[in-house]
Amino acid sequence: MKILRKTFAIAMILVTLFSIFFTPTFDSAREYLVADNSSGELFSVAVNNSEITISTKDDDATFFIDCEIAGICCFDKVFTFLCLSKRAANDYVYTVYIYNFTTGHLASFATDCKASRSNIVFSADSTGNFYLLSFDDSTLLHYYENGVKVMDIKCHSNITQMICIDTRSVLLFTVDGVYLLKDTALEKLSSLVPVTPCVYTGNGIFVDNMGIKFIYKENSFDIYQEETESVINPSEQGNVQIDHSQKYILISADTTVAMLLDTLGLEESKITIEKADGEAVASGKLGTGMTVLADGTRYSVAVKGDLTGEGNLNSRDLDAMMRHLTKENFLADIFAIAADLDNDNAITTKDLLALSRLY
């Protein structure tokens, strides 16, 4: 049952982060997480009727699109909105809006492509290249440059997802493998079939809907083999990392008081552990936000992935990280350290995906 819950959690996170989404009712206010396909950076996109607000941790921008939004993707901070324009009763075509988050410029162009509220697959880069899957043929994509249709490109099998990886290339995820479309030339890279939707997390790494990592590198696409890195350094003992400058101890989930004492080689009388409210802790699991007083120095405790202070990992920790990424409630201080699972000094999509696989 735990495996089923875990798989479901990963799937829900990836669907939330997936850069193509369907909006059933444009009138309702909704908020989405959108990953930049060039960097993996995460943006919050809030839709409130025709008002669109794009936000990062440090900046935001508001503009207006007076159409029903069917999907959105982002490349190098350029957002492409695929919208439905009514041509006649029950007859819609796609209109494309392009917003540059850096310059604030908004442009649009109309297509003659029949629109659908299902099987919406498209991608775009920051230079005006736009790729759209055909309404009635899942092997055919329409290619546009700067709002002008250039050609139709036929793939060898049904396309389930497209992701631009640079200004000349797009990865096509199909039912029989992964293809590279580069300068309109099509090449099969791999017979691997990731479970779409996939999310790009940066550095050539993609994560599919089952949490499996893949890497694109030098015109190849393969399962990502993570290198095993030692977490031991002169400031660490056993599986406990001690940062003497910032005064914190970083440990794994489910670490108990007894395990910490044993790892540090200390007697119980030589150390004092307290909860955030000052209550003494003599046994049981350690949680983020507790403090350890040893040798006259007080250290804060950060449990990897424990964002609630409970000492274990569950869906509440996922919710806390999601709220941080959507700017609803920021994690700070020792909880931000506990959330940075890949140790890159930032809380990103990669940390969210890593957390979903830990509990």
Higher pLDDT, 95 or 246: 95
pLDDT (tens digit per residue) in 319-342: 888 888 877 788 889 999 999 988
| Chosen CATH of 236-356 out of 1.10.1040.10, 1.10.1330.10, 1.20.120.420, 1.20.140.10 | 1.10.1330.10
Could you tell me the fold of the domain covering 2-223? Neuraminidase (2.120.10)
pLDDT (tens digit per residue) in 264-316: 777 777 788 888 888 888 888 899 999 988 878 889 999 999 999 888 888 88
Beta carbons within 8 Å of 227's beta carbon, 6+ residues apart: none
Higher pLDDT, 80 or 252: 80
Model's pTM, two decimal places? 0.68
What's the pLDDT score for residue 214? 92
Q: Positive or negative, the Cα torsion across 328, 332, 338, 344? A: positive
C-alpha dist (Å) from residue 22 to 53, 154, 159? 18, 25, 17
In the structure, what pLDDT confidence band is assigned to residue 5 with cuts at 50, 70 and 90? Answer: very low
Under a CB-based contact definition with an 8 Å cutoff, are residues 306 and 312 in contact?
yes
Q: DSSP state, 280? A: B
The DSSP code sequence of 48-87 is ETTEEEEE-SS-EEEEE--SEEEEEEEETTEEEEEEEEEE
- Taking alpha carbons only, the member of 126, 144, 218, 214 closest to residue 173 is 214
Residues carrying CATH 1.10.1330.10, the chain:
236-356
What is the average per-residue pLDDT within 64-79? Answer: 92
How far is Cα 343 from Cα 50, in angstroms, rounded to an integer?
39
Q: Is pLDDT of 37 > 60?
A: yes
Higher pLDDT, 6 or 72: 72
What's the pLDDT score for residue 13? 52
What's the pLDDT score for residue 29? 62
Cα angle, residue 236 at apex, residues 230 and 239 outer, rounded to 5°: 65
- Taking alpha carbons only, the member of 258, 261, 277, 250 closest to residue 335 is 250
What's the pLDDT score for residue 356? 76
pLDDT (tens digit per residue) in 152-209: 999 999 999 999 988 889 999 999 999 999 988 999 999 999 988 888 877 788 888 7
In the structure, what pLDDT confidence band is assigned to residue 211 with cuts at 50, 70 and 90? Answer: confident
C-alpha dist (Å) from residue 88 to 93, 197, 286? 10, 32, 63
pLDDT (tens digit per residue) in 79-125: 999 999 888 777 889 999 999 999 999 999 999 888 877 778 999 99
What is the average per-residue pLDDT within 238-260? Answer: 83
- Taking alpha carbons only, the member of 14, 38, 214 closest to residue 126 is 38
Residues carrying CATH 2.120.10, the chain:
2-223
